[in-house]
Chain A
């Protein structure tokens, strides 16, 4: 009887679920990247009134350039966590996590006015990653899922810090990272199976 319950329920993770979520993630990333762009405007005002140093301003505006990629990659990897661990993360929760990622830039601006940029970057990253990790723990109650999400976030933030600090080499490193990202995405689609219309990552 228990087996029947598992098989007879309507499949949740179908191909159309994936398509809808991809569209949602794309739209949410555009909106949130625009919000992060708003932080850029605030930072230029703050710099003109002398509260914010020019070197931090340059680093912050470079970091904001990567906000779209950052948010969309994080939300797509959350979708992957959702499929692997079968814990329903709903649209509102995706949106809240996206908001935390966009708020990162405002916090970074606020803290780097008082502290050196590298120190404030570390503090803000720890705050954002901690918040999202705690939230994922609340949703999934699975420590593996939390570890995976936190790992992905830390790698992403470290990469962005690397990209904004190497100057003219950023394009080379960035395009190789993009290539690797596509290769990883291809690897996951190869492991994605459709069994009884249900997506399974093996």
Chain B
């Protein structure tokens, strides 16, 4: 019986040549890129959903904040208005993060102090109103209006607040001041309509940007920012320059959502090079060990590398990006190196592949955290890995 089996066992099928196999592996890399494309589509839809929910949370807290210069008028609803001579506005912004399940939104609470003066020469009627255009629904704490030394409580309308004053008994220059706390998100704008004005916004927020007219002075250091606008254009000149409703607003814009998805999408850009480098190192191991690794096994290794990105995406929704990257890459590296260890029955190969993969993922993380040096470092890493591949190919003997 034994002599029947021997000839069959001796007959060995010729394995694929290295060239054919390298070509097929290249094709497989392209096939696996379809997988990363699917991950990208998932990422995009998650980002859209997250933005939508963040928008909803922010809207419930209070949306855009728009504050206009206070005016004196005969009736709060008339369009004939007396604009102040001087206007000072100081807004201090404190951001806070609101959570709803895994979604987050950055909203702010701004403490706004307004002061200035009116020239009451032109005031004819006995009783006048001071109108301040700001959404009363967003105001949480409102101090009374101090005008000409008297304190008067504000009354609320649908879209503005107003106070009734006795204008005739006032001196020519009427000083006013008030302050309030306001809830808002995404932006804080101030519409300036005064002969001379000074507007300052400061506080801490993620990624603030200034819009409208650029500030005279500004500084952004990490999360702390401050900006100052100063104008000395008479109201009449402003009105001539712009139509009434097109007067440019000045202010700051803030990011409502979180930027964790951006980091994942940047990491996704390195997918192709990670798959190629891993395949090359496994191929090298195959040649050095003189073993045949079937294409199916390569496919599984590549699939594990693609699944790294879905793991990264889902972990980063529950933890910080660094922690998510660490866990996802540790899982992937352990799986692949353990697989090769068992497949080639060599612990050394497993350890070598494991350390190569750790180095690849480590480099990728460094590239993600660097911004301006990423290209320089990336090209140097590619050069070194090319040199390593060349060194590896020296071992191939025909």
Give residues in A with beta carbon < 8 Å to B: 3-4, 7, 15, 18-19, 22, 167-169, 171-172, 174-176, 178-179, 182-183, 185-186, 189-190, 196-197
Q: A4 contacts B311, CB within 8 Å?
A: no
Is B382's CB within 8 Å of the partner chain A?
no
Q: Report A155 CB to chain B, min CB distance, Å.
A: 19
Q: In B289-328, which residues have CB < 8 Å from any A CB? A: 294-297, 300, 303-304, 307, 310-311, 313-315, 317-318
Q: Report A183 CB to chain B, min CB distance, Å.
A: 6
Q: Which residue, of B42, B102, B313, B314, has the highest number of chain A Cβ atoms within 10 A?
A: B314
Q: Report B35 CB to chain A, min CB distance, Å.
A: 10
Q: Specify the chain B residue showing the minimal Cβ separation from A14.
A: B13
23 A-B pairs (CB sep. < 8 Å): A3-B1, A167-B101, A168-B101, A168-B103, A168-B317, A169-B102, A171-B46, A171-B310, A172-B314, A175-B311, A175-B313, A175-B314, A178-B307, A179-B311, A182-B304, A182-B335, A183-B335, A186-B300, A189-B297, A189-B300, A190-B342, A190-B343, A197-B13
Q: B310 contacts A174, CB within 8 Å?
A: yes
Q: A22 contacts B296, CB within 8 Å?
A: yes
Q: Specify the chain B residue showing the minimal Cβ separation from A175.
A: B310
Inter-chain contact total with CB atoms closer than 8 Å: 67
Q: Pick the interface stretch among B4-12, B118-126, B173-181.
A: B4-12
Q: Specify the chain A residue showing the minimal Cβ separation from B49.
A: A168
Also in contact, A196 and B310, with CB within 8 A (given A4-B4, A22-B296): no
Q: A172 contacts B300, CB within 8 Å?
A: no
Q: A7 contacts B5, CB within 8 Å?
A: yes
Q: A7 contacts B8, CB within 8 Å?
A: yes
Docked pose: A171 CA to B296 CA in angstroms = 26
Is B254's CB within 8 Å of the partner chain A?
no
Contacts of B315 in A (CB 8 A): 172
Q: B307 contacts A175, CB within 8 Å?
A: yes
Q: B342 contacts A176, CB within 8 Å?
A: no
Contacts of A179 in B (CB 8 A): 304, 307, 311, 331, 335
Total interface residues on B, CB under 8 Å, equals 31
Docked pose: A174 CA to B309 CA in angstroms = 12
* Across the A-B interface, the 8 shortest Cβ-Cβ residue pairs: A175-B310, A172-B314, A171-B314, A175-B314, A186-B339, A175-B311, A182-B304, A178-B307
Q: Specify the chain A residue showing the minimal Cβ separation from B334.
A: A183
Q: A185 contacts B310, CB within 8 Å?
A: no
Docked pose: A18 CA to B296 CA in angstroms = 9
Contacts of A183 in B (CB 8 A): 335
Docked pose: A169 CA to B317 CA in angstroms = 9
Docked pose: A190 CA to B336 CA in angstroms = 12
Contacts of B339 in A (CB 8 A): 186, 190
Contacts of A196 in B (CB 8 A): 8-9
Q: Report A1 CB to chain B, min CB distance, Å.
A: 11
Contacts of B314 in A (CB 8 A): 171-172, 174-176
Contacts of B318 in A (CB 8 A): 172
Also in contact, A176 and B311, with CB within 8 A (given A171-B317, A182-B335, A190-B342): yes
Docked pose: A15 CA to B315 CA in angstroms = 37
Docked pose: A196 CA to B8 CA in angstroms = 7
Apart from the given pairs A172-B315, A175-B310, A190-B343, 13 other A-B contacts in the complex at a CB distance below 8 Å: A3-B4, A4-B4, A167-B101, A171-B310, A171-B314, A175-B311, A175-B313, A176-B311, A176-B314, A178-B307, A183-B335, A189-B294, A196-B9
Contacts of A18 in B (CB 8 A): 296
Q: B4 contacts A178, CB within 8 Å?
A: no
